[in-house]
Amino acid sequence: MKKSAIILFLALFILVGCAPLDFLSSQDNQERIGLIPLDSRPANTQYPELLAELAGLDLEIPYEYLDNFLIPANRDQLWQWLTKETTEFNTLIINTSVLFNGSLIETRNPEAYKLAEEQLEQFRSFCLENKDKNIIVINVLPRLLPSQFTNLWPYQKPLVEYAIALDKADLSGQGDISLPSDVPEELVQDYLSIYTRAELIAHSLIEMAQEGLIDYLLFGQDDAEKHGLSNRIVRKISKDFTEKITFVHGADELTMLALVKNAISVPEQGINISYSNKDFTTKVFPFEADTLEKVLEAKLNYLGLKNNPHSPFLEIIHTDPNNSTEVLTLIEENHHDYLGVADIAFTNRGDISLRESFLAPQVFNRINGYSGWNTASNTLGTELSNFATVQHFLSQDWKKAEKIKALEAYMNFKYIRFAEDFVYQGILRNELNNRLLAKGLDPNNLGERKAEAETILKELFVPYQEQLQKAFMGEHTLGDLIFTVKEIKSEISLPWARTFEAKIVPEVKVKL
């Protein structure tokens, strides 16, 4: 019996020893991460998935239970998924906006906070039962503007003015001020309750983190201004900030940042930040609560990235809408190992005056990362996450098949950035909206006519699709790697029944 076992063992040893080197994968023990995203939009699902693929991580999202625009997530099913699937993951990244409220949109609805205490108790129990897991929680504080899908919307102007005045009064030590006379008192109280309940959730999550039930707690802030009620919450909880309880401006980019911080080591050399106009660092950009300098500092500190003028990695932050030529000058002068562009000169789109130059081969092949969508926070967080993930990939000793898979994820992400930020947000969205308005459709809520809008969008995208294909096909370099894009396909659609964002699904095939 023993002799038979020894013979069998030797046979298996010889078989494995003679197998090709790719028989065992260096990613066999890859990190498995479960993600409850902020909502179902591509920024919170597709983008983290692609960065995870580039980093060699296994990221799973329960898509079937997520929200769909005005339809909140199925929270009961999300809880069941969490409970059932937890054993499969090393790490959980949980956005409370969708788990507690149903979606980011619902965090602006006072009705979505009615079960806050019950949800918090359920979450505490979950964390107690899963102390062996790495639990990362992202809690986004509600935006200043009330929801256009509630009865608060007709009073948006006086409510926002009241909130700003309240925050200013708090800062000056004046205390509460009189209620606005042009808003029904019950609606004022509904609006205020959003922030009261959000603060309750924030303090409860801090307690759990302090007790060790949450490993990392990250607070973000939905669309804001220099003053507002979420700003007041940030000041109140700031006394509890530690290495594991932190605040970073923004919302949609936070999952990407959390993924990087908790699964990837950032380069010790840091990153060299340059600006198209450095004077803009003291500016408060639209939808931000602080200056660009402070917003960027919070993101760099969270990732543990140094702003190092001697770093071999360059990040150009395009700030000045009247000085796009400086970006091209900085690119021409670039001799760095990584070149990224965070394009924040315009809100909700890239600077389209740069598009043709960026697509030219001599510029395109030098740009390793680009972002120019939505707010300054969204753009900065996306590009910094891309940078850190690229450096992580380049530091790995992976087999050829794994490198190809990662490079395809890298090029897919780059394609999305050019197609979404330049083409869709910069050009096509306005054209699409004009056509829809001529048909009597509301671009902010297409209802049952989403498919009709998508048909128009696909037609508009074709010539730009051809331009992008021409730019992406052929030879590319990343670090010391030289690879070829041999095939590329892409589809464009609307993820929700509105035109604010598009979903681009590229399929890049790479030869290494």
Structural domain boundaries in the chain:
32-263, 272-511
Predicted local confidence at residue 469, as pLDDT? 96
Predicted local confidence at residue 28, as pLDDT? 57
**Smallest Cα–Cα separation from 103: which of 82, 76, 74, 79?**
74
Structure tokens at 126: 């979950």
Predicted local confidence at residue 31, as pLDDT? 83
At how many degrees (to 10) do helices 400-416 and 46-55 cross? Answer: 150
**Smallest Cα–Cα separation from 337: which of 308, 318, 307, 314?**
314
- More confident: 412 or 26: 412
Displacement of CA 97 from its chain's centroid (Å): 14
- Confidence bin at 85 (pLDDT 50/70/90): confident
What is the CATH class of 32-263?
alpha beta
Predicted local confidence at residue 26, as pLDDT? 53
Structure tokens at 304: 């543990």
DSSP string of 111-171, one letter each residue = GGGTTHHHHHHHHHHHHHHTTTSEEEEEEEEPPSSPPTTSTTGGGHHHHHHHHHHHHHHHH
- According to DSSP, the β-strands at 481-493 and 474-478 are antiparallel
What's the Cα-to-Cα distance from 341 to each of 123, 143, 216, 298, 452, rounded to whole Å? 39, 27, 29, 19, 35
- Confidence bin at 86 (pLDDT 50/70/90): confident
What's the Cα-to-Cα distance from 122 to each of 80, 133, 374, rounded to whole Å? 12, 17, 34
pLDDT digits 0-9 by tens, 149-162? 999 999 999 999 99
C-alpha–C-alpha distance, residues 50 and 222, integer Å: 23
Structure tokens at 98: 């969708």
Three-class DSSP category at 57: coil
**Smallest Cα–Cα separation from 154: which of 188, 177, 103?**
188
What values do phi and psi take at 428, rounded to 5?
Answer: -70, -30
Contact 398/363 with Cβ under 8 angstroms? no
Q: Indicate the residue type of 270.
A: G
Report the percent of the chain where pLDDT is more than 70.
Answer: 94
C-alpha–C-alpha distance, residues 406 and 87, integer Å: 26
Residue 25 clears pLDDT 60, i.e. is over it: no
Mean pLDDT of 353-362: 96
Predicted local confidence at residue 255, as pLDDT? 98
- Confidence bin at 29 (pLDDT 50/70/90): low
Predicted local confidence at residue 335, as pLDDT? 86
Q: Torsion-angle region of residue 363: left (phi > 0), alpha (psi -120 to 50) or beta? A: alpha
Mean pLDDT estimate for the chain: 94
Q: Indicate the residue type of 54.
A: L
Angle at 368 between CA 364 and CA 371, to 5 degrees: 90
Contact 369/387 with Cβ under 8 angstroms? yes
Q: Poorest-confidence range of 245-249, 285-289, 303-307, 335-339?
A: 335-339
Within 13 Å and on the Cβ side, how many CA atoms surround 356? Answer: 2
C-alpha–C-alpha distance, residues 251 and 345, integer Å: 19
- More confident: 12 or 466: 466
C-alpha–C-alpha distance, residues 63 and 65, integer Å: 5
- Confidence bin at 6 (pLDDT 50/70/90): very low
C-alpha–C-alpha distance, residues 179 and 339, integer Å: 51
Residue 263 clears pLDDT 50, i.e. is over it: yes
Q: Which residues does 302 contact at the CB level (< 8 Å), separation at least 6?
A: 218, 246, 248, 257, 261
Displacement of CA 202 from its chain's centroid (Å): 21
C-alpha–C-alpha distance, residues 371 and 346, integer Å: 12
Count the neighbouring beta carbons within 10 Å of the beta carbon of residue 455: 10
C-alpha–C-alpha distance, residues 324 and 458, integer Å: 29
Predicted local confidence at residue 3, as pLDDT? 41
C-alpha–C-alpha distance, residues 133 and 77, integer Å: 20
The sign one gets for the Cα dihedral 52, 136, 261, 294 is: positive
To the nearest 5 percent, what fractions of the chain are helix, strand and coil? 50, 15, 30
What values do phi and psi take at 97, rounded to 5?
Answer: -60, -45
Write down the residue that tokens 């009705």 correspond to: 111
Residue 490 clears pLDDT 70, i.e. is over it: yes
C-alpha–C-alpha distance, residues 479 and 387, integer Å: 12
Residue 51 clears pLDDT 60, i.e. is over it: yes
Q: Poorest-confidence range of 24-28, 33-37, 392-396?
A: 24-28
- More confident: 14 or 249: 249
Structure tokens at 477: 């370099």
pLDDT digits 0-9 by tens, 420-453? 999 999 999 999 999 999 999 999 999 999 999 9
Burial class (CB in 10 A: 0-12, 13-18, 19+), 193: middle
